[in-house]
């Protein structure tokens, strides 16, 4: 974990010209996974509330989303880093606590869709899910395998066009792509009530060759603890 934190600090202190460009406006958008390892005497509720309070008080780091996996001591955050070298506020706190941390640069699916030629506005996906207490996190990994680049891009365009139809019909979701080349990895956050499951499953259906993992999560905005 120490090496990960050092790497994160190094990345955050690079010049803006290295971290972002006109073609990659969300180079400083990150998903951060925090796992609280088992520990005798740990007060999980107190720890989670302390993490929640800490991230809400960060300077120049905006909390876009904050979730907890139901049934597990694992938190998911999406941060917008508004100023270089602002990570130490968070990393020093996490290092002292001994939490397991994974940091992944991401960017908006709407930006990716437009790169593919899909006519989608940058704010098409819903970035305000704080009113939904229980949601789903759907992680999709799309493998190119024997497809040409043109064939793969066509499949992804078809998927995004179908997503637009589902979202225009009233389904809500946020979507991010991992900032990497291949395989393409997308993550959706969507309300997970039983009455909406069919629409969510349609939203997460993709091209023939992909892996899908669905996790039930709880919004941290109203989190006050209790048994999960």
**pLDDT single digits (tens) 14-42:** 333 333 333 444 448 999 999 998 878 77
Residues 171 and 154: beta-carbon distance below 8 Å: no
For 172, the token pair is 């809500």
Domains 2-107 and 110-219 share a fold: yes
- On the question of pLDDT at 4 being above 50, the answer is no
What pTM, to 2 d.p., does this model score? 0.80
Cα-based torsion angle of the residue sequence 130, 203, 205, 191 in order, rounded to the nearest 10 degrees: 30
What fold characterizes domain 110-219? Alpha-Beta Plaits (3.30.70)
Please write the tens of the pLDDT for every residue from 140-199.
898 887 889 899 999 899 889 988 988 888 888 899 999 887 889 999 998 876 455 555
Domain segments of the chain as ranges: 2-107, 110-219
Residues 151 and 208: beta-carbon distance below 8 Å: no
Residues 135 and 214: beta-carbon distance below 8 Å: no
Query: Which CATH number applies to 2-107?
Result: 3.30.70.920
Residues 218 and 133: beta-carbon distance below 8 Å: yes
């Amino acid at each position: 974990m120490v090496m990960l934190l050092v790497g994160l600090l190094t990345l955050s202190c690079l010049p803006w010209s290295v971290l972002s460009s006109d073609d990659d406006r969300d180079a400083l958008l990150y998903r951060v996974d925090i796992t609280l390892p088992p520990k005798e005497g740990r007060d999980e509720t107190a720890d989670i509330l302390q993490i929640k309070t800490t991230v809400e008080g960060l300077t120049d780091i905006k909390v876009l989303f904050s979730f907890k996996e139901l049934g597990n001591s694992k938190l998911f955050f999406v941060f917008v880093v508004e100023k270089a070298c602002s990570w130490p506020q968070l990393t020093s706190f996490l290092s002292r606590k001994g939490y397991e941390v994974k940091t992944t640069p991401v960017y908006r699916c709407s930006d990716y869709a437009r790169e593919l030629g899909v006519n989608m506005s940058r704010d098409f996906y819903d970035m305000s899910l704080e009113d939904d207490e229980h949601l789903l996190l759907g992680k999709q990994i799309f493998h190119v395998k024997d497809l040409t680049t043109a064939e793969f891009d066509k499949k992804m365009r078809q998927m995004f066009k179908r997503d637009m139809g589902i979202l225009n019909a009233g389904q809500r979701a946020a979507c991010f792509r991992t900032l990497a080349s291949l395989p393409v990895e997308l993550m959706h956050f969507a309300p997970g009530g039983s009455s909406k499951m069919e629409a969510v499953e349609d939203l997460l259906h993709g091209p023939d060759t992909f892996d899908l993992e669905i996790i039930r999560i709880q919004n941290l905005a109203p989190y006050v603890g209790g048994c999960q």
